[in-house]
Each structure stands twice: as C-alpha cells, then as structure tokens.
Amino acid sequence: MTLQEILHKLEGVTGSGNQYTAKCPAHNDEHASLSISSGVDGRILLHCHAGCDATNIVAAMGLTMRDLYPPEEAPTAKQGKNIVAIYPYTDTEGKLLAQKIRYDNKSFSWRRPAGQDKWEYKRGNTKVLYNLPEVIAGDPIFIVEGEKDCETLRKIGLTATTAPDGAGSKSKWDNSFNEFFSGKTVIIIPDNDKSGHELAKAAADSIQGVAESVKLIDLSEAVPNLPEHADISDIAAWKSHDELEALLNSLIQNTPEYTGSASRTEQPEKYKGKKLLVKKLSLIEPRRAEYLLFPYLPKGRLCVIAGVSGSTKTWLTLYFASIISKAGTFITDNVFTKRIPGVVIYQTKENDYETDIRPRLDTLKANNENIFTIEERYEDGSSASPLSLTDKRIKEVLEEHHPQLLVFDPLQSYLGENVDMHKANEVRPILDSLADLAKEYQCTIVIVSHMSKMTTASALDRILGTSDLRNAARSIIIVGNDPNDQNRRVFTHAKNSLGELGQSVAYHIDTSAGGVVIDGFCDLEPDDVVKAKQDGSRNKPSVCRDEAINLLQEMLGEPGYCRLEDIQAAAAARGITSPTLYRAKRELFLKSLSIGYNPKTTWWLFPGADEKKVKEGFKHDV
C-alpha cells in the first residue's frame, strides 16, 4: 500500500511530505503518538511512542505487515540497473577478493579486481564468508541470510556474517566455513520462509560440535503475523536500535541451544535379550599412567600434535619417532628412564616418503628398520582401497607388528569418504574407536592436525575440526614459533588428562647437526607460540572498544546517565564507530530510556541510575 492509503485509515493526521503523526489505533490515544513515514525502499514505517507494537497497529487498521510494503513491480528497461549497495568479500587478512553488487531491480552481480582501478565482472572462486575478518575477531557471531541483514546488525554493534549465495534453490551450507566458528557462540537468524529455515538448519547441524553453542532463532516468535520472506532488516525498519537490540536479547534468552535431530538407534537383533555388564569400581585395579616420552606422549592413548603452517610439526613428530625407533634420549629422561627400541608406523599423505620423510629420518639418525608405513596395496601388488581411521586393516597391522607409536598425518586425510571433520556426531565415534585400539594394543596413536587462521582464538580452539578431537585426545602438543627468535621453534603442552603439563621446550632445525636440536626448556605458553605477528592490526577492535568503554564511563559520570545524542557526538569526535559504541554499551550493561515523541530523546543509563531524575531533568530542559 502507499503512504496516502495508510494515512486514510488513521485519525488526527498532521504533517506533510514524508513525515506524519496520527492517533495510534492500537490504544486509546489522545496525543497523536503514532509517527508514520516512508522508507527509502518504499516501505511504510510506523512507530508508536507509547510503545505499541507495529503488528498490533496494522491489525487495528485491518491490515497485515505485508501491506506496509510497496506493490511488487517487475523491473523495466527504463528502470535500468542502478547500484544501490556494494558488499566486499575479503580473505582472513582483509584483502579484497570480490565484490557483490546489488541493483535497484533486486538483481545481483559479482566483480573482482583486475589490476589498478579495473574490474572483471566475474565471481571467480570466491567461497568465503561475508565480513570474514570481523567474524574471526568476534564472539558471539550472528549468521543471517544476506549481506543487507549483516549491515543491519552491524549498526547495533553485532558481528554478523552470511554465506555468499543466500538460501537459493541450489544453495547449501559449505562445511569449510565451520572452522571460523570454533569455540564461539553462534546465533542463526533465518528469513521467515521455508528455504531460509532449511539453510539455517543445515548450518546449525554442521556447526554444532564445532561452536561452543548454537541457537536457531525464529523471528515469528517475537513478531506475530510476520509476513513470509520477512527478515531482520524488515523488523529493524519498524523499530529503533534499542528496540531491535531488546527484541534480539529476548529471543536469544528464550531460545534453547540447538541440539540437532539425532534419534535413538534401535538395539541390533543379535543383542536383544542380553544385559550389559555392570562392574563395581572396587574391582578395578588402579595403575599409574606410563609414557613413551614423559609427560607428552602417554602409552596406549590418543594424542594430538597441532601447529600452524611452517611450525615444523612434521619435523618434531619424526624426531619423536626417531627416539622411539632407536631408544634414544629425551629431554625429560632421568636415571630411572628405561627405553627399548620400538616399532613406529608413520602414515602421511602430505609428504613424500622418498624425498621428504626418509631423508629427514636419516638426518635424525633414526633406526629405519623399526619404522614402517602401511602402503595402499596388497602384498601381491594389487591396489587396495585408501586407508582410513575406521579401517579394520589398522587393527590387523597393530596385532602383527605391535608398534609403540602410530602416526596419522594429517587427520583429514584419514577420516574416510563422506566424513565431515567438523561434525561431532561423525568424528567422535571414529576417535573413540581409535582410542580403544590404542588402549587394547598399548600403542600411542598420534594425530597430526593443522590449525585455523583465527589468530584471536586460543591455541586449543584453533585446532581444525570438531571440538571432540581435542576432547578425545588425552594429550595435546601445540607447536609454533618463538615470538622472540624467528629461527627458533617451541613445542608446548596444552593438555594432559593423565597428570601435570610438561614444560615448554625450545628447539631449532639444523640439518647439519642432527635435524632437531633441543635448546632447552622455556616459559612460553601455547597461545604465545601460535599468535599472529604483532603488526597491531589484530588489536585495533579491542583497543577501540576499551576507548568506547572509557568514553561511556566518563560521559555517564556521577549522575549515571547521558543523552545518546551527546554520546554519539563525542564518539564520532574520537573516531569510535557506532557498532563499537553499542558493543561497549552491552559490556557495561547500560539501559536505554526514551522520553517524549516528535522528537524523541534517548538516554543511556548505568544499571541502578535514577530514571525519575532523568525524566525530571528532561522536563526542566523542555
């Protein structure tokens, strides 16, 4: 409907042009407290200063929310294709990869840089999340359906992202996005339609187990009679920033964590009628944990060695293998350490055995008679299927060769087909089975893992894959760089479920002196050795947020309140953006208080501040 058609349904209308006031039909209104205007996209915007919800207002007029939208019109040749928005897609460091362009006829196109001031109107291989650098730095993260919705949430200080293809008929959630949500709180807000909810559920199923928590929000729970296809930007057009923030907070608080749709499996027929053995713990003999290399590699347990690219984690793993193979010495050995040469099985699909693995082991002076690899072919020369962690042939090899150490480098190369390393329900059973094999054959099984580029996350949270990998491992070693010496590497002990953590050990690589040369113990922590270079770029958001917090504390001062208009002016003078200001507001738990109408004055208050004094001061000013 048009603005004039809406005005004809109201009483006490005054105003002109694009701004009107009228009596609100949703309550007994004697002061014309309803503001009516037209948005830039033709939508009718309603706001009752007495607090009536937009859905109740339109219902009182005998309309629906859809009536606030302009009639759908097909684009014409005269209408052309004028750009209304440009959305940049970047890599993790903020380098521009491509731009998605939205036109006034609601169509989209892509372009990518093609030299200085030139564009190639092709998308290319752009498969990244929108707003990626802020996603890496932020927590919580909101996943919405479209770049416009991301920008809507950005205005109230929230970090939001979207998949580049929305929820079209051919769209699906790409599991490669999952690493950026590791250990974070994720809130998914789909559009109010079937395709939006389907994509949101697919994303929730995929992210669950990677993220710390996932919530799937239904906007119609907060806005009755919400039109089909409506999104968070539509709701934002009907509400102020503070009202939108309050609505989202209420939805998040009242929405339970997403748990997926896994159902109980029926007991197999061969087990029916049998009872599980229940055993008293008093009948279980306690024993001390034993170690291959104290305290980093416990015997008969599942362990992880993780590191960023170039951290020399393969060198370190081969160094451990060489010690086992020849009963060599280790930095934590003492006079009571007894070690005999043991068998090692080393599986890798990232390094070549002839040109990489064997030369390194020779440099390390390993006993290569004791180091084996399982080839993907049979003894008669015929090809075998690719080896995976669920392969029954692993148990056969353990039974025949009795290795002390079995290495899989890297994890994703051995998960098997159709297994998503970011899904806990797919990965955890595999890890549990592997841990059972380690215990049964008293073989230490090491999984070598890469780490994500999320430089603001903790070292453990950066290990690629589902969080169940770090939960299942009994010991985790993090390998990285010494921030004070670019030529030195450090392995740190991030987890030990069986005892105290080992001290960090510094080393360097020198092929003329035996490969891995141990420099000694050091005090560096796991987070120290995997953090980003100190170029300052990663710290700017937190510095700005601290500055915004200081500003709010100064301006609210002793009375505990201040006009939002004054706060925004002061923030702009200091270069503090609106999103950062609203983040600081949330961290300080500030309240919002709106007084008057046409114009309305908004105040921010500390919790416990006297609202009566604010209102009295407002009346005095008026």
Q: Quick check: 268 pLDDT over 70?
A: no
CB of 103 closer than 8 Å to CB of 121: no
- pLDDT value of residue 427: 86
**More confident call, 150 vs 43:** 150
Q: What are phi and psi of 58, to 5 degrees?
A: -70, -35
CB of 83 closer than 8 Å to CB of 103: yes
Domain that holds residue 316: 289-530
Tokens of 395: 């148990």
Residue 276 within a domain? no
- The SS3 of residue 65 is helix
Average pLDDT, stretch 427-445? 93
Residue 43 within a domain? yes
Q: For residues 71 and 41, what is the distance between their CA atoms, to the nearest angstrom?
A: 11
- pLDDT value of residue 294: 94
Q: Are 173 and 201 part of one and the same domain?
A: yes
User: Nearest-CA neighbor of 322 among 376, 359, 375?
Assistant: 359
Distance of CA 88 to the CA centre of its chain: 20
Q: Are 153 and 210 part of one and the same domain?
A: yes
Q: Are 414 and 315 part of one and the same domain?
A: yes
Q: Quick check: 510 pLDDT over 60?
A: yes
Please state, rounded to an integer, the average pLDDT across all residues of the chain: 84
Q: Quick check: 79 pLDDT over 50?
A: no
Q: Are 575 and 557 part of one and the same domain?
A: yes
Q: Are 417 and 316 part of one and the same domain?
A: yes
Is the pTM of the predicted complex or chain greater than 0.75?
Answer: no
Where does the pLDDT of residue 537 fall: very low under 50, low under 70, confident under 90, or very high at 90 and above?
A: very low
Q: How many CB atoms lie within 10 A of CB 101?
A: 18
Counted domains in the chain: 4
CA angle 366, 372, 376 (to 5 degrees): 145
Average pLDDT, stretch 87-97? 87
Q: Quick check: 577 pLDDT over 70?
A: yes
Q: Are 512 and 547 part of one and the same domain?
A: no
pLDDT digits (tens, 9 = 90+) for 350-392: 889 999 999 999 999 999 999 999 988 877 878 878 888 888 8
**More confident call, 64 vs 401:** 401
Q: Are 294 and 429 part of one and the same domain?
A: yes
Q: Are 339 and 362 part of one and the same domain?
A: yes
Q: Are 403 and 510 part of one and the same domain?
A: yes
Q: For residues 589 and 587, what is the distance between their CA atoms, to the nearest angstrom?
A: 5
Average pLDDT, stretch 549-568? 86
Q: For residues 115 and 489, what is the distance between their CA atoms, to the nearest angstrom?
A: 38
Q: Are 509 and 375 part of one and the same domain?
A: yes
| Percent of the chain clearing pLDDT 90 (strictly above) | 31
pLDDT digits (tens, 9 = 90+) for 590-599: 888 877 766 6
8-12, 147-151, 444-448 — most confident range: 444-448
Q: For residues 275 and 268, what is the distance between their CA atoms, to the nearest angstrom?
A: 13
Q: Are 414 and 492 part of one and the same domain?
A: yes
CB of 229 closer than 8 Å to CB of 66: no
Where does the pLDDT of residue 269 fall: very low under 50, low under 70, confident under 90, or very high at 90 and above?
A: low
User: Nearest-CA neighbor of 592 among 616, 570, 572, 562?
Assistant: 562
Find all residues with CB under 8 Å of 485, minimum gap 6, and list them: none
Average pLDDT, stretch 88-103? 87
Q: Are 312 and 389 part of one and the same domain?
A: yes
Using the 3D structure, point to which of 496, 530, 564 is the last residue of a domain: 530
472's torsion region: left (phi>0), alpha (psi -120 to 50) or beta? alpha
Using the 3D structure, point to which of 68, 84, 107 is the last residue of a domain: 68
229's torsion region: left (phi>0), alpha (psi -120 to 50) or beta? left
Please give the DSSP secondary-structure letter assigned to residue 622: -
Q: For residues 404 and 327, what is the distance between their CA atoms, to the nearest angstrom?
A: 11
Q: Quick check: 206 pLDDT over 50?
A: yes
pLDDT digits (tens, 9 = 90+) for 155-190: 888 999 998 887 654 457 888 888 889 888 999 999
Q: Kindly report the CATH number assigned to the domain that includes residue 550.
A: 1.10.10
Q: For residues 163 and 500, what is the distance between their CA atoms, to the nearest angstrom?
A: 42
Q: Quick check: 77 pLDDT over 50?
A: no
Could you please report the per-residue DSSP string of 494-535? Answer: EEETTSPPPPEEEEEEEGGGTEEEEEEEE---HHHHHPPPSS
Q: For residues 296 and 305, what is the distance between their CA atoms, to the nearest angstrom?
A: 10
- pLDDT value of residue 512: 93
Find all residues with CB under 8 Å of 474, minimum gap 6, and list them: 298, 301, 302, 303, 435, 495, 496, 497, 498
